[in-house]
Amino acid sequence: MIQLETLPLSKLSDPNLPAAVFAFEDAGLAGARHLNAGARKRLLEAAKAEGFKGKPGECCPLSWEGRRLIVVGLGRRKGYSREAQRRAAGKLWAFAKSRHERLALWPEDWLGAAQGLLLGSYRFCEYKKEDPDKLTEVFLATASAAEQRAARRALEQARLEADAVCLVRDLVNRGPSDKTPQSLAELAKSFAGLSVEVIDKEQARKLGMGALLGVSRGSSVDPALIHLSYKPKNAKKRVGLVGKGIIFDSGGLSLKPPQHMETMKGDMAGAASVLAVMRALPRLKPKVEVHGYCACAYNMPGPDALKPGDVVRALNGKTIEVLNTDAEGRLVLADALSYAAREKLDAVIDLATLTGAVVVALGSKVTGAMGDRSLLARLAASSRRCEEPFCELPLFEDYAEQIKSSIADVQNIGKVRGEGGSIIGGLFLREFAGEAPWVHLDIAGTAWNDQPSAYCPAGGTGSLVRTLLDYLAGL
């Protein structure tokens, strides 16, 4: 990521330092409050003379009154939100990264601009050396002491969030053989301010985690349940975050087609998100105790792999008839949720790339959510503030009949194939979630980005990390 700092305008007197300013399609300049009305009018007229329209993300280079400028479009004023500033800053980064070494910024919104720049400048270079970007320093230019304070607060928040989001992107983008359950456990142990317990294969067997162990049977690599704890003094609430950590999902004996495996290194995005949120908590300092659980395993078709028709027993004692080994995420979550339920938490939230059905229903920009309505409402408020949308799906009781097995307590897929798959997955998880208010977030569509967006390259996205940090901070 780039080096991003705040700096008073008085220290940016160098006319050779390029600057960026933002403008609406229909309402003139945004931000740049240090410019008087006459200067704002002249600047906008000069940009329009170069063909600038103010369309979202449009970048217009301009020489104006002895200074090099880039005028960036925010779209129409009506309906403007921080997301428009975030996307415009991401587009600015893409435009300026090969043109300038340093850049000053006069945004409409400090936080949105900082988020867009930090997230937009992310690159995954673990396996491929890329030419370094020319632009390395960006300054949030402030015109007053009050603006300086506001910009610094926004930058601190943006850095914390970007660090967490980009950790998720790194973990998801990494090759599946380079992020074993054991290496993720070692990573968790390196986080400052947290306590970490790792439940290995032998401990899982003693505890009775037959579902987690069953999924991993086809792999030569052992599973692990990683339990991270953040315990501040005088915490009044206790929250659990549970992440699906299928490091690679071949489908097991219910083998996926080859093209469907190409992005399955991202099937651990839920666990990656839990790790990233937990790492950020000692910096965020919320007054809430948080427990993170990452259920990590490979789903492979080895000689001892789970077979359709096998029955496993989860930690809470319930038996599961496994009819499709490619519905494995709900199996590892069954044990993780059962383990979290032992903590007597006030709320439990799980994140999982659980079903392709949610992508059919909601596309790749909206997360599916289901569970306790009160908890959902609080998460929805954070989702709106962070502009990471999710849509509630009903846990329709009639569909619960579909997961009743004739030989076990439940079966891991519905009886009517291709119908209500996301809801069926949620109803299955509810069997193991315990008594605490619980919400399931199906991030199968939003955790991965096939095409670059305004502030996210193709690959892992870090979806809902900002929402979860906002929710926890609010507690």
Catalytic positions are 256, 330
CA 428/CA 147 separation, integer angstroms: 50
CA 450/CA 86 separation, integer angstroms: 20
For residue 424, what are the CA distances in angstroms to 147, 215, 393, 402, 410? 50, 19, 11, 8, 11
Count Cβ atoms below 10 Å from residue 125 Cβ, excluding itself.
9
CA 210/CA 311 separation, integer angstroms: 9
Do 288 and 239 touch, CB atoms closer than 8 A? yes
User: 141 forms bridges with which residues in the sheet?
Assistant: 7
Give residues with Cβ within 8 angstroms of 443, minimum separation 6: 269, 270, 273, 351, 352, 353, 367, 463, 464
Count Cβ atoms below 10 Å from residue 277 Cβ, excluding itself.
29
Give residues with Cβ within 8 angstroms of 28, minimum separation 6: 40, 44
Do 14 and 103 touch, CB atoms closer than 8 A? no
DSSP letters of 430-447? HTTS-SS-EEEEE-TTTS
Do 342 and 237 touch, CB atoms closer than 8 A? no
E runs forming strands in 163-209: 195-199
CA 294/CA 333 separation, integer angstroms: 9
Do 288 and 236 touch, CB atoms closer than 8 A? yes
Count Cβ atoms below 10 Å from residue 146 Cβ, excluding itself.
9
Residue position matching structure tokens 């740049």: 32
Count Cβ atoms below 10 Å from residue 451 Cβ, excluding itself.
8
DSSP assignment letter at 453: B
Residue position matching structure tokens 């599973």: 223
E runs forming strands in 267-354: 289-299, 310-313, 319-322, 347-352
Specify the pairing of strand 319-322 against strand 410-411.
Answer: parallel
Phi, psi at residue 337, to the nearest 5°? Answer: -65, -40
CA 246/CA 330 separation, integer angstroms: 10
For residue 406, what are the CA distances in angstroms to 110, 322, 401? 58, 12, 11
Residue position matching structure tokens 């993720």: 184
